[in-house]
Structure 1
Amino acid sequence: MTGPLLQIEDLRTVFRTSGGDVAAVDGVSLDVVRGRTLGIVGESGCGKSVLSLSIMRLVAHPGRIASGRVLLEGRDLAGLSNAEMRGVRGKDIGMIFQEPMTSLNPVHTVGFQITEGIRAHEPHVGKAELRERGIAALARVRIPSPERRFDEYPHQLSGGMRQRVMIAMALACSPKLLIADEPTTALDVTVQAQILDLLRDLQAETGMAIILITHDLGVIAEMADDVAVMYAGRVVERTSARDLFEDPQHPYTLGLLGSIPRLDEDRERLLAITGAVPPPFALPPGCRFAPRCPFAIEACRAEIPALRAIGAGHEAACLRAPVEEALA
């Protein structure tokens, strides 16, 4: 098939509060291409995880998708019944949740949890084949002694091995799309590198698309083909990973990149973005980044800027873009 695997169109996810609905995801539009990795980056509280849960239709009450479409090969997931959506989860879209220490059920063996998706989507598979496929899934993510690990419980595994189990669970039914929400959080740098290498190898082997959610721009540089930068529930910059690092066009992206230490520069202090991400119930007027932006002018506080083309395949939601003009 041609065209994007997944299309998110003007998606808005809200949570009901005593003061009315507040939007955690507010008008997000993104495409995910087959065989490529889309990195979604931003500070905590920007709406990245809520976006991933919205795709999977796992937003808990009082949250709900208020408007927009999530098209998987042209099929609108937002309009499916709960039963139909259960047929999509695991089979067509797999997800690695945050915190493998708490995402695995402590009272079930690793093998039981890995084969749960197979049992749900392929009820005809017998016990012997289930075990065989579960062990193969563990071997696929390079867990040593997979036959023994299949019968062990999560507390018997290290953090890195539990993360590999989460990956094995997500890939057990060979999904077309894998959503990895902070897949390297709380892992040391050596294990982090191993997990990223594993995801890259599995993508090359299966051709699946990946949505990689992280706050770590180093992970984005290593893994992503395309990048969306989120701030306060909206996408503020969208481009290829190469262009993001070589020619960032939104002041928020500049701030994120400026906070990373570089070996080729001698600086006494790193750049820092002042303030914090505003909560969704107390958003400022106009551009949501304006109160923290060193380039903001009065017009920035009067209207919410829309994503617009800055260059070929490069969009930014900033009235002052291109950056060169703002710095002049």
Structure 2
Amino acid sequence: MSMSDSLLRIEDLRTVFRSSNGDIAAVDGVTLEVPRGKTLGIVGESGCGKSMLSLSIMGLVPRPGRIAQGRVLLEEQDLASLSPAGMRAVRGAEIAMIFQEPMTSLNPVHSIGDQLTEAMRAHDAKASKAELKERAIEALRRVRIPSPERRFSEYPHQLSGGMRQRVMIAMALSCKPRLLIADEPTTALDVTVQAQILDLLRDLQAETGMSVILITHDLGVVAEMADEVAVMYAGRVVERGTAKDIFEDPQHPYTIGLLGSIPRIEEDRDRLLSIDGSVPPPFAFPKGCRFNPRCPFAIRACTEIDPPLRELSPGHRAACIRAPVELALDIAA
């Protein structure tokens, strides 16, 4: 993908945390592109580095973490090199984020209206109080919150989980960003509300033309929403491709394991496939391929070689020395 086709390009990004044993990488050499007007889904188990990648893009890496190398290019502007003040000017106006749990992201002692207008005022200091209120109510109406004039004066605890998530979306879109990062936007929501939130995001994307990074562990959400998919494991991207590539022709054993854990109505199985073990912590990554202790296809070379992403077909890459092999057929058998 050329730079002209990408709104955001992440190049060899490495985010580390200082420890008594040296720097520990939570994001380790990630390279990704986010197409203009499209949705990039980032999937993986908890602890894979998905959320830390999003915080790195936003310039919100908590201390003692820092970006040690790489670039985060919003068109030609490197966000990783900006000062805190420079990043504050970009955050919200150019890139916005919906966090995992709206109840912990919204301030319980401030009204919904105060929190919405605060975000707008940060990027438009000249706007009057009345103008900001009008824009905030319109933002609530835009995300299909009923009686937005009344909700403007209410507090987070007075709203349901789905309504709070809609407020977070309204806040994120209040300054019309070009890129929206949605970090587990449907976590803790019931299935009906989840469908409503996903429909809302899809409609708003079609209306505004914004790009979306959708971070989730739910492959069903990715299948419904994403144009392209990146699978993360142990701080790295282990497979990248279109949604069609990932779901119809997975080539990394980790991706295959994730897909195998999804129940399918057309299959008659006594039990679902599972991936043994858990994601290793950043201070205990194994030698060679980081997935090799959990991989049913691992051979001796997998404990010695740290495989890079290789292009298997146009736009489809995987970090596995055994790819391309009909691994999906092997595991199904």
TM-score range, shorter chain: over 0.9
CA distance in 2, matches of 1:327, 1:163: 40
Local SS of the residue matching 1:115 = helix
Shift of 1:327: 6.2
Match of 1:33 among 35, 49, 56: 35
- 1:6 alignment partner in structure 2: 8
Shift of 1:325: 6.9
Q: Deviations over 1:12-66 (max 9, x none)?
A: 0001112111000000000001100000000000000000000001001111000
Local SS of the residue matching 1:83 = helix
Instruction: Please state if 1:175 is matched with 2:145.
Output: no
Q: Which moved more, 1:133-142 or 1:116-125?
A: 116-125
The number of aligned residues is: 328
State the one-letter code of the partner of 1:38.
L
Local SS of the residue matching 2:284 = coil
- 2:294 alignment partner in structure 1: 292
- 1:160 alignment partner in structure 2: 162
Match of 2:121 among 119, 122, 128: 119
Within a 5 Å distance, the mapping from 1:74-153 to structure 2 comes to 74-153=76-155
Shift of 1:114: 1.2
Query: Is the Cα–Cα contact under 8 Å of residues 251 and 327 in structure 2 kept in the other structure?
Result: no
Query: Is the Cα–Cα contact under 8 Å of residues 91 and 117 in structure 1 kept in the other structure?
Result: no
Instruction: Please state if 1:19 is matched with 2:21.
Output: yes
Local SS of the residue matching 2:120 = helix
CA distance in 2, matches of 1:278, 1:318: 18
Query: Is the Cα–Cα contact under 8 Å of residues 307 and 318 in structure 1 kept in the other structure?
Result: yes
Structure 1 runs not aligned, ≥5 long: none
Instruction: Please state if 1:188 is matched with 2:203.
Output: no
CA distance in 2, matches of 1:326, 1:91: 43
Q: Deviations over 1:141-184 (max 9, x none)?
A: 00000000001110110000000000000000000000000000
Query: Is the Cα–Cα contact under 8 Å of residues 274 and 292 in structure 1 kept in the other structure?
Result: yes
CA distance in 1, matches of 2:132, 2:230: 38
Gap change, CA 1:126 and 1:289, over 3 Å in 2: same
CA distance in 2, matches of 1:104, 1:323: 47
State the one-letter code of the partner of 1:184.
T
CA distance in 1, matches of 2:19, 2:99: 26
Match of 1:206 among 205, 208, 212: 208
Query: Is the Cα–Cα contact under 8 Å of residues 250 and 323 in structure 1 kept in the other structure?
Result: no
State the one-letter code of the partner of 2:151.
R
The TM-score with structure 2 as length reference comes to 0.97
Q: Which runs of 4+ in 1 moved over 2 A?
A: 325-328
Q: Which moved more, 1:98-107 or 1:316-325?
A: 316-325
- 1:234 alignment partner in structure 2: 236
CA distance in 2, matches of 1:326, 1:158: 41
Local SS of the residue matching 1:87 = helix
Query: Is the Cα–Cα contact under 8 Å of residues 94 and 171 in structure 1 kept in the other structure?
Result: yes
Within a 5 Å distance, the mapping from 1:54-93 to structure 2 comes to 54-93=56-95
State the one-letter code of the partner of 2:113.
G
Shift of 1:324: 1.5
CA distance in 1, matches of 2:115, 2:325: 49
CA distance in 1, matches of 2:241, 2:15: 23
Local SS of the residue matching 1:288 = coil
CA distance in 1, matches of 2:247, 2:186: 21
- 2:304 alignment partner in structure 1: 302
Percent identity reads 77
Instruction: Please state if 1:273 is matched with 2:275.
Output: yes
State the one-letter code of the partner of 2:260.
G
- 1:283 alignment partner in structure 2: 285
Shift of 1:3: 2.6
Query: Is the Cα–Cα contact under 8 Å of residues 236 and 250 in structure 1 kept in the other structure?
Result: yes
CA distance in 1, matches of 2:118, 2:328: 54
Query: Is the Cα–Cα contact under 8 Å of residues 295 and 326 in structure 1 kept in the other structure?
Result: no
Shift of 1:2: 2.9
